[in-house]
Amino acid sequence: MSHTAHKNEEEIKEMECSEEEIIQHAKQLAFSIRRSKCFVVFTGAGISTSAGIPDFRGPQGVWTLRAKNEQRKAPTTSSIKAIPTKTHMALVVLEKVGYLKFLISQNTDGLHRKSGFPTNKFAELHGNTCLEICKNCNKEYLRDFRCRKANIKVHEHGTGRFCNICSTELQDTIINFGENLPIKPLNDGFDYSHKADLHLVLGSSLRVTPAANMPKETATISKRNQLIICNLQQTPLDYLATQRIWAKTDVLMEHVLRFLHLTIPEWLLIRKINIHFTSFSTMASKIKIIKIEAIEPDGLPATIFSQIIIRTKQLNKNI
């Protein structure tokens, strides 16, 4: 909320290394990635600003402007329409080739899932604006719209939609201030932070706990571990960083992948459509059933149809 905004101009101020300094940082980071046995990445809102999604504590951040009672002037893209950035896609490649072992994110914009990053190697600590879940059977539903209902109390999460499996009302997954983080992402985040010998923070001011304690865990558990922070603003963990990079994350990651001889792919939206045909007979007639469903690459149901029209021919007549 706005009370978590930076308190002074020094904290709000953004700084950036020269291009030559960023290239040297990228070269060193690429070397560290090659040597790492357990490389973990922690991401914040700064990795999505190039997609048009505002951050929270930058000069045009949501909490910064709200604390000043000002309106955002820069163009904004809703998280529903935004597409993954170069940083998102770089992380997909790093996982695919085996360098990146686990991803932790504070972001609720859903761009990591949209990028195709495997969900079994990923902890969404603060939820996903497009994801709702059945708390009874744990079935998840990924939507192409904001799941949270408007004008409800901050700690209410019912969406008004119901589970296809057990008919329980679905809940949005957004974690608001004062609420506990979900157990599995929380435990996974700390477990991998404990195992990590290299922890890279991308685009986070590291102000919100317990999430911000995860990179700190890596840095403090062993002097041999490396904590590398890439953010335009100061963070409370800068004193623990073995490498502090003042840069936009897209710029840094482009150089890092070049030094690793990897290419950042273009983002493609990939979904499957399953069509199931079944039939059964009654005393009066034979009943045919067609089930059409959209599926995300990770197996989650996807909502992509607003309407389905089926036309059939029987005896050369449309019915």
Instruction: Report the catalytic residues.
Output: 126
SS3 state at 130: coil
Taking CA 233 as the corner, what is the angle to CA 249 and CA 72, rounded to the nearest 5 degrees? 85
Provide the Cα torsion 245, 48, 251, 101; round to 10°: 70
Closest by alpha carbon to 90, among 107, 111, 75? Answer: 111
Residue 281, φ and ψ in degrees, nearest 5: -110, 145
Looking from the CA of 186 toward its CB, the CA atoms found within 13 Å total 9
Contact 107, 48 (CB under 8 A): yes
Give the span between the Cα atoms of 312 and 300, in whole angstroms.
Answer: 29
SS3 state at 243: strand
Counts for the chain of helices (H) and strands (E), in that order: 8, 15
Contact 48, 105 (CB under 8 A): no
Closest by alpha carbon to 181, among 138, 216, 211? Answer: 211
C-alpha distances (whole Å) from 204 to each of 183, 228, 290 are: 22, 12, 47
